[in-house]
Chain A
Amino acid sequence: MVIVGAGECGGRAALALRDLGYEGPVTLVGDEPHLPYERPPLSKEAMASETPEIRAITSDELLAEKSIRHLRSVRAAGIDRTAHVVRLSDGASLSYDKLLLATGSTPRKLPMPGLGSRCVYLRTFADALAIRAHLRAGSRIAIVGGGFIGLELAASARKLGASVTVIEAQPRILMRGVPVEIAGIVHDAHEAEGVKILAGQGITAIADDSAEVRVTLADGKDIVADLSVIGIGAVPVTTLAAEAGLTIDNGIAVDAELRTSDPDVFAAGDCCSFPLAVYGGRRVRLEAWRNAQEQGALAARNMLGAGEAHAAVPWFWSDQYGLSLQIAGLSDEGRGIVRRDLGEGAFILFHLAEDGRLVAASGIGPGNTVARDIRLAEMLIGKRAKPAPEALGSPDVKLKALLAA
């Protein structure tokens, strides 16, 4: 078994193969110099500590104990599907019976000239350390893109006293996948913490003279900063798969069992698009940590012949200041919204399809106030339940009771 990409998904898949009792050789190939590690902390509060630490999902000891061979700082450079061989950047090659591509995604590049060393992206631990070095009281940070990573980073930068401007081309932040009411709460929290949010502002130029960076907005104004972090989304890493002739469709296209167009090659995590059963097989690509974890484990089962279809409901969270946001399902599936207030300003929006089916739930609140109900909503979504809107809207009705119904 060969796994390309030693991130959340690849790492989980390797461990799962052993947990499932597979005894043959397992090789995990990663182009980063680290053990598989968690990316979510890279933008969050952990960033604000004096010396941010990498949070590995396993250890050298555990990998040795489980006889998982982990090749670091090595890239898979090509796949010969006929010979069942992966060619590595160091000239070596690996033969496989089953291959898993868990190559993840990579920040979408800003298609503009003028980007220099003070214009950076955030994906890896190395990126996070480079950004951390610029975060201190008074440093000026311009964040291009009001998505989750940019906003979480804005919160971490404020914690260290940096002066932060977020520039978003869309009319509001968190345009993709987040209901306007919730984005509004996030927006207000950032403004209350002193972040300047410029929404509805495209940028027309960016100039980096290595002393500072100047971002020119559509209205002609300039934002001058010590560092510009560009967070305008991510694109799946598909080159290897495409060059091997596998079908690509907004990511490496896989079936419900995470199999690519070659039955001996699987793909999972951020890099793949797959049919989401809970929405009648709608093809989606998720960039979410739990999905990477679950698909890694599912791919491992199917590489061993389980033939199990993906059935999970998407789930995502984000933390900014003391607020935590959680979303189960994809809210764009919904037509109507029912709101449940949980106290302390926390609330959940239930998204219902035309036929009354619960298709998604988005919640925000201090700490983990929304967690339990979002989790129960996720199970209701998975059951394709049609709970009564009045019950959803009434905090006195326990969602657990609806689930049992």
Chain B
Amino acid sequence: MNDWVEACAAEEIDEEDVMRFDHGGRTFAIYRSPDDEFFATDGLCTHEKIHLADGLVMDDIIECPKHNGRFNYKTGAAKGAPACVNLKTYPVKVDAGKVLVQIG
């Protein structure tokens, strides 16, 4: 599956913010960075399967709302305890104001 899936309109997400996106029984988190780029990762924290979209975005870090585990949402790298397993990331592109994610 190489299909690009439409997640939302670009304008639905503020800069330096995150939104939850559910598709096909899976959940993702879509980010808009402070420099206006879009990214996508798995939606659930690797510590306790909590929705990251309730968390706080600061620069290129998403902080989990539950215990403040940190990830770089651009690379998926776990950046702070208790998060130690990396997040999966997905390619994103913006086309005609729509955010598309390649969830494959």
Contacts and interface: CB of A to CB of B under 8 A. Distances in A.
B56 A375 contact: yes
B54 A368 contact: yes
Interface string A368-382: 110110011000000
B81 A376 contact: no
A367 B54 contact: yes
Interface string A298-312: 000000000000000
Interface residues of B, number: 13
A321 interface: no
B68 interface: yes
B50 interface: yes
Interface string B50-87: 11001110000001011110000000000001100000
A125 to B, nearest CB: 17
Provide the main secondary structure of the chain B interface: loop
A368 B82 contact: no
Contacts of A400: 16
B82 A372 contact: no
Interface in B81-98: 81-82
Contacts of A289: 67
A177 B67 CA distance: 19
A131 to B, nearest CB: 21
B54 A293 contact: no
Contacts of B65: 368, 371-372, 375
Contacts of A297: 81
Contact of A293 (B51, B55, B63, B81): B81
Contacts of B67: 289-290, 317
A376 B56 contact: yes
Interface of A: 12, 38, 57, 289-290, 293, 297, 315, 317, 324, 367-369, 371-372, 375-376, 400
19 contacts: A12-B81, A289-B67, A293-B81, A297-B81, A315-B68, A317-B67, A324-B66, A368-B54, A368-B65, A368-B66, A369-B54, A372-B54, A372-B55, A372-B56, A372-B65, A375-B56, A375-B65, A375-B68, A376-B56
Interface of B: 16, 50-51, 54-56, 63, 65-68, 81-82
Given A293-B81, A367-B51, A368-B51, 17 more contacts: A12-B81, A38-B82, A57-B82, A315-B68, A367-B54, A368-B54, A368-B65, A368-B66, A369-B54, A371-B54, A371-B55, A371-B56, A371-B65, A371-B66, A372-B54, A372-B56, A376-B56
